[in-house]
Amino acid sequence: MTLDPARPHRRYNPLTGGWVQVSPQRMGRPWQGEVSAPDPLPPAYDPACYLCPGNARVGGEANPPYEGVYVFANDFAALADAPGGAASDDPLLRAEASGGVCRVICFSPDHGRSLPRLAPPQIRAVIDTWADQTAELGARFAHVQVFENKGAMMGCSNPHPHGQVWATAHVPQEPAQEDAMQRAWLAEHGRPLLLEVAEREAEGERVVAINDDWLAVVPFWAAWPFETLLLPRFPVARMPDLAPGQRDSLAAILKALATRYDNLFRTSFPYSMGWHGAPFVEGPSDHWQLHAHFYPPLLRSASVRKFMVGYEMLAEPQRDLTPERAAQMLRSADALVHYAD
Ligand code: H2U
Ligand code: ZN
């Protein structure tokens, strides 16, 4: 590759077909993550939290005194199990009915402990829940989206560690795009795209965390400053297909990655993360590799965020910090000891 990474260039995202503008010359000044006082963490129990064990939710129903992972039907579901809504094939005003299910997944009864501060067996229990939800809903729906919105900066309503699962009868836009791109890659190159990415990246400068089964990298084409892609180093299309040992090693790398994120700016690192796996539809899924995306908004400190505005909204995403430099900064943050412990 004859790319000079110090000069402006564009990088291609083979998963979406999109491009990102990289402008590293704008990073001329030395990069110093502002060292701020560590953010205070929430208490273990908050009587006003609608996710804590025993507390009432907004709809009036009370949570049981749960001790592990707890799943409930979202009281304000965005999708209805019995799809309504009129379809329209008017070419200008096209619409279709969409049905589905929305659930909330509390990771732990402890209001103050987010993923990196859970013990590996507790993270493993979250992974098992993700897999079980995916299997159960995948029997009825084409796509199961597991995700976590974390932090007020991402519009998350509550610090209690939790994620969501939405299942839909249709395959939504992002996974549909990835489906088409991975299918075309396999047809052209004879190997699954993300297996090739995992192999190419394993020894490289964009690694953030790695173990025998998993790899977390800042992808070559990352748009968000500290975006990462979590990839299996073995073929697997969907979360329920993970073997017990692969779930344990996933718990380990999730803990390492999330600890590095939190330690980077000594804050509970905000992000949206979620899993993409093969849709539950007829036909082969050998082009698919299960993976997770982490999209954190922070740029320079616990309070300075990257805005995707202006050029990003009207032309294409742009970044100053190179993915290689972002990976190096994340690697230099401690993966073992969380700043709060
Ligand atoms: P966030 O993860 O984006 O904060 O969303 C939390 C979800 O919890 C949100 O979808 C649901 C909201 O509808 N919720 C309930 O189901 N019951 C409640 O009592 C409050 C919040
Ligand atoms: Zn709580």
- Given its phi and psi angles, is residue 261 left (phi above 0), alpha (psi -120 to 50 degrees) or beta? alpha
pLDDT digits (tens, 9 = 90+) for 37-81: 666 789 999 999 999 999 999 988 999 999 999 999 999 999 988
CA 157 to ligand 1 center in whole angstroms = 7
CA distance 79 to 81: 7
Counting ligand 1 atoms within 8 A of each CB, the residue from 49, 51, 76 with the most, and so the one to mutate, is 76
Atom index in ligand 1 nearest the CA of residue 77 equals 13
pTM: 0.95
Give the three-state DSSP class for 10. Answer: strand
pLDDT over threshold 60, residue 35? no
* Neighbour tally for 73: CB within 10 Å: 12
Give the strand pairing for 318-319 and 271-276.
unpaired
Residue whose structure tokens are 């804590």: 52
Residue nearest to atom 12 of ligand 1 (CA): 76
Question: Rounded to whole angstroms, how far apart are CA atoms 146 and 64?
Answer: 23
Tokens of 35: 């060292």
For residue 60, the ligand closest to its alpha carbon is 1
DSSP string, 86-112: --B--SSS-B---BEEEEEEE--S-TT
Q: Separation of 106 CA from ligand 2 center, angstroms?
A: 9
Task: Give the number of other Cβ atoms within 10 Å of residue 39's Cβ.
Answer: 16
Catalytic-residue membership of 162 = yes
User: Which of helix, strand or coil describes residue 167?
Assistant: strand
Pairing of strands 70-73, 100-106: antiparallel
State which of 157, 268, 273 you would mutate to test the pocket of ligand 1, scoring each by most atoms of that ligand within 8 A of its C-beta.
157
Pocket of ligand 1 (CB under 6 A): 50, 57-59, 74-76, 104, 149, 156-158, 162, 164
CB of 194 closer than 8 Å to CB of 291:
yes
pLDDT digits (tens, 9 = 90+) for 278-296: 999 999 999 999 999 999 9
Instruction: Look at residues 291, 212, 288, 201 and name the one whose alpha carbon lies nearest to residue 248.
Output: 212
263 membership: H or E segment, kind and range: helix 244-265
Ligand approaching nearest to the C-alpha of 51: 2
Three-class secondary structure of residue 297 per DSSP: coil
Residue nearest to atom 20 of ligand 1 (CA): 58
Q: What backbone torsions phi and psi does residue 308 show, to the nearest 5 degrees? A: -95, 80
**Closest to 150 (Cα-Cα) out of 141, 139, 161:** 161
Helix (H) or strand (E) segment spanning residue 145: strand 143-150
CA dist list (Å): 130 to 126, 242, 275? 6, 11, 9
Question: Quick one: pLDDT at residue 46?
Answer: 96
Per-residue model confidence (pLDDT) at position 124: 98
- Residue 118 C-alpha from the chain's centroid: 18
Tell how strand 214-217 and strand 228-232 pair up.
antiparallel
Nearest ligand, measured from the Cα of 150: 1
80 DSSP 8-state letter: B
Q: Binning pLDDT at 50, 70 and 90, where does residue 5 land?
A: confident
Ligand 1 centroid to Cα of residue 41, in Å, is 20
Q: What is the pLDDT of residues 102-143, one digit of tens each?
A: 999 999 999 999 999 999 999 999 999 999 999 999 999 999
Identify the active-site residue in 143, 160, 162, 287: 162
Handedness of CA 210, 216, 221, 223 (dihedral sign): negative
Q: Whose CA is nearest to atom 1 of ligand 1?
A: 156
- What is the position in ligand 1's atom list of the atom closest to the CA of 164? 2
